[in-house]
Amino acid sequence: MARDAQATKQRLLEAAIQEFSQYGIAGARVDRIAAAAGSNKAQIYTYFGSKDGLFEAVFEAMVIAVIDQVPIDTADLPGYAGRLFDFSLARAEQMRLVFWDQLERHGAGVRSSEVLAAGERKAASIKQAQEAGVISGDLPAQVLHMMVSALVTQTVFQLPPDHSDADREDLRRSVVTAVGRLSQP
């Protein structure tokens, strides 16, 4: 029975990604999420407590996926920014979730201990690289990390849906160059 519950939760999360990315938090409907997941609204409330709780679970899973799949490399912060750009571009629905979070929740995002700890580890890694002279110490480590993330996120949305490979590469190169200049010791 636990397997079925886990599978149902996963289906609900996957359906919620699509619903939230398309309609935002306010516009999303739990009945559409439940129907798309082959479930019912009661299970959403049982597993996640509320529509906001479901959004938080979706957002947290997205952040953890980024952390797991695009680890920070302070020896090559521009390269990290390029990989983060590629990852973000390939997941447009997740990027829309970031903007819905900013628009409807003032960028509160998820504040789970796991996500907060990951952010702290990244900032600590940047700080160590700053102390070793690998990265510029002109900006506080947390601010530099935030700026790299924001630069990538905002830049990905500058590409029109019908962009060419050359447009994509030009924008990616610009992100890598900007982060290089921002972090150059």
* Torsion 146-147-151-157 (CA) sign: positive
Tell whether the model's pLDDT for residue 1 goes beyond 80. no
Number of independent structural domains in the chain: 1
Determine the average pLDDT of the residues in 91-115: 78
6: in domain: no
pLDDT digits (tens, 9 = 90+) for 127-164: 999 999 999 999 999 999 999 998 998 898 888 888 89
The predicted pLDDT at position 20 comes to 95
Tell whether the model's pLDDT for residue 4 goes beyond 70. yes
18: in domain: no
48 or 116, greater pLDDT: 48
144: in domain: yes
CATH number at residue 66: 1.10.357.10
Burial of 99 from C-beta contacts in 10 A (0-12 / 13-18 / 19+): middle
The predicted pLDDT at position 63 comes to 82
22: in domain: no
The predicted pLDDT at position 111 comes to 67
Residue 39: pLDDT band by 50, 70, 90 thresholds? very high
Domain extent for 83: 52-183
Residue 108: pLDDT band by 50, 70, 90 thresholds? low
Q: Give the position of tokens 């959004």.
A: 55
DSSP string, 116-148: HHHHHHHHHHHHHHHHTTSS--SS-HHHHHHHH
177: in domain: yes
Torsion of CA 39, 45, 50, 52, to 10 degrees: -40
116: in domain: yes
Tell whether the model's pLDDT for residue 25 goes beyond 80. yes
pLDDT digits (tens, 9 = 90+) for 52-69: 999 989 988 888 888 889
Q: How far apart are CA 85 and CA 81, in angstroms?
A: 6
35: in domain: no
Instruction: Look over the chain and give the mean of its residue pLDDT values, rounded to a whole number.
Output: 90
Tell whether the model's pLDDT for residue 112 goes beyond 80. no
Q: How far apart are CA 78 and CA 85, in angstroms?
A: 10
5: in domain: no
Determine the average pLDDT of the residues in 71-75: 93
